[in-house]
Chains A and B, each alone.
Chain A
Amino acid sequence: MIEAPVKERRELHGAEGVTVERVSRGFATKHGVVPALAGLSLRAAPGEIVAVVGPSGCGKTTLLELICGLQKPDDGTVRCDPAALMPQRDLLLPWLSAIDNAALALRARGVSRAQARDAAAPWLERFGLGGFEFVAPAQLSGGMRQRVSFLRSLLAGKPVLALDEPFAALDAITRAEMQGWLGHVLRSEPRTVVLVTHDVEEAVVLGDKVVVMSPRPGRSVAEMDVVLPRPRRRADPAVVELRERVFAALGVAS
């Protein structure tokens, strides 16, 4: 894969990036309002990959839904280029083949099936899914399903990708492969990425910046720039050291 030229890169990843300023968001329940986010701030420059790590239930999914415009903040502001979500579970439609699943965002905009397939076909090839175009999702491996799911969100054509623990459901070996794969894809297809994960290693290997969130109600407690060359190896001492710093920020002794 060849890296895209600078001008084209800007078109791909947009101009605004993602700016979340002192955002609070709560949910009404039977037992009163439960705050999910309390004064969270976060910035992803255009083309930047920001990995957000935090304990379970710290409002990470709420953050992504705010970025995607699926929710409005109670307080604070969210400014952001249009974003497409990649959900935690792949949610592939069982009645559609791999290619039709990948092309769902095009169909959602009213593109005909034939045209949507034409647009998706070269991407399946590129993503190592050549020959699996007309296979049902149930026949695909976990890693392949996740690649189709990522492609589906990518083909939405949005400058921002909101990835919700994309590889959490995969086994350790497949997950490591997929992390390497995603890093590779994002170098040739630059987008502004907010990657929510509870996998600290994933955050350090993939992120330009790691944001550490507090337990619920979530806010940012630490931010670390990852200025390491790519592709990154998880055994690299610099990666290991940063990983330990993130763990420390999370309050986990190692």
Chain B
Amino acid sequence: MKRLLSGWRALMLLLVLLSVWELYVDLGGADPLILPAPHAIAQSLFNDRALLWSNFLVTAEEVLLGITVAAIAGLGFAIAIHLSKTLRQAVYPLLVASQTLPVPIVAPVLVLWLGFGILPKLVVIALVSFFSIVVTTSAGLAAVDPDLIKLMRTFDASRLRTFRHVELPSALPGLFTGAKIAVTVAVIGAVFAEQAGASSGLGYLFEQSIPQLLTARAYAAVVILSGFAIALFALLTLAERLALPWAYEPTGERP
């Protein structure tokens, strides 16, 4: 019931914002070729549904695979810099630097190296989205109670077993948090990657629609991307609740 109510609130706010937007364009506030009205976008969503759908499937595949790569790479980096201080000192600044690379500059190089297939898209998506996973997961790994590490030492646990039984499980909520942040930027990454060289996908469609003055269709592509990001975010939230129920239970003891 509560959740239904919060859904209503989001919907109400959305309706208010859309109404303001619609009025603004209808009253001549902006050229519809630059900023299409919501009703025009809705029309395009319906009329171009086949085109949008086929391109969505391409982008969805890129994003899902890219996020998977990002999660594996992010978890790998987080574990590596957690276990080795030397590695942490050597690699962390470079990881931060990797986030400052402008994607429109990197993407053409990747296309040059990796061709026009899905590979450069996966690299771009992973590049823009893995960092949040590294940060939140390594924070989770580092936040383990030091007394718990001491306890494991008095149990003669090896570094690896302490990691496996204590540190890794307590870092999993961080992994999910990082992945939730990552899905939103992954969608943007997909658009940039497709603009650098692609023959299909919503980013490609977006790129093609603007010079053809089909602005409403370009916005329709963006609406689908937003909806996809929201759906992925919700899916991850649900998966987290199912996989890590303990992270949601009250930690306080019962009398």
- A: residues with CB less than 8 A from B are 65, 68-70, 83-85, 87-89, 91, 93-95, 104-105, 107-110, 136, 138-142, 145, 153, 156, 158, 162, 171
Give the chain A neighbours of B147 by CB distance below 8 A: 87-89, 91
Give the chain A neighbours of B150 by CB distance below 8 A: 65, 68, 70, 85, 87
Given contacts A91-B145, A107-B161, A108-B162, contact A84 B249 (CB under 8 A): no
Give the A-B pair count, Cβ closer than 8 A.
Answer: 83
Q: Tell me which of A94, A141, A162 has the highest count of chain B C-beta atoms within 10 A of its own C-beta.
A: A94
- B: residues with CB less than 8 A from A are 145, 147-148, 150-157, 161-162, 165-166, 169-170, 244, 246-247, 249-255
A136 to B254, CA, bound (A): 12
Given contacts A93-B169, A145-B253, contact A138 B153 (CB under 8 A): no
A105 to B156, CA, bound (A): 8
Give the chain B neighbours of A69 by CB distance below 8 A: 154
**Contact present for A109 and B155 (CB under 8 Å):** yes
Q: How far is the CB of B222 from chain A (nearest CB, A)?
A: 39
Least CB separation from A90: chain B residue: B253
**Contact present for B253 and A104 (CB under 8 Å):** no
A162 to B151, CA, bound (A): 11
**Contact present for B152 and A108 (CB under 8 Å):** yes
Given contacts A85-B150, A138-B246, contact A108 B255 (CB under 8 A): no
Q: How far is the CB of A201 from chain B (nearest CB, A)?
A: 22
Q: Tell me which of A95, A109, A156 has the highest count of chain B C-beta atoms within 10 A of its own C-beta.
A: A95
Q: Tell me which of B165, B250, B251, B252 has the highest count of chain A C-beta atoms within 10 A of its own C-beta.
A: B165
Interchain Cβ contacts under 8 Å between A and B, 26 examples:
A68-B150, A68-B154, A69-B154, A84-B155, A85-B151, A88-B147, A91-B151, A93-B165, A93-B169, A94-B251, A95-B170, A107-B161, A107-B165, A108-B155, A108-B156, A108-B157, A108-B162, A108-B165, A110-B161, A136-B249, A138-B249, A138-B252, A138-B253, A145-B253, A162-B154, A171-B255
Q: How far is the CB of A237 from chain B (nearest CB, A)?
A: 33
A138 to B249, CA, bound (A): 7
Give the chain B neighbours of A153 by CB distance below 8 A: 151, 154
A68 to B255, CA, bound (A): 32
Given contacts A87-B147, A89-B147, A141-B255, contact A156 B154 (CB under 8 A): yes
Picked from B169, B244, B247, B254, the residue with its CB within 8 Å of the CB of A141 is B254
Give the chain A neighbours of B152 by CB distance below 8 A: 104, 108
User: 6 closest Cβ contacts across the A-B interface?
Assistant: A108-B157, A108-B155, A105-B155, A94-B246, A85-B154, A138-B249
Give the chain B neighbours of A145 by CB distance below 8 A: 253
Q: How far is the CB of A134 from chain B (nearest CB, A)?
A: 13
Give the chain A neighbours of B170 by CB distance below 8 A: 93, 95
A171 to B169, CA, bound (A): 31
Give the chain B neighbours of A84 by CB distance below 8 A: 154-155
Give the chain A neighbours of B250 by CB distance below 8 A: 138
**Contact present for B254 and A140 (CB under 8 Å):** yes
Least CB separation from A145: chain B residue: B253
Picked from A65, A70, A93, A140, the residue with its CB within 8 Å of the CB of B253 is A140
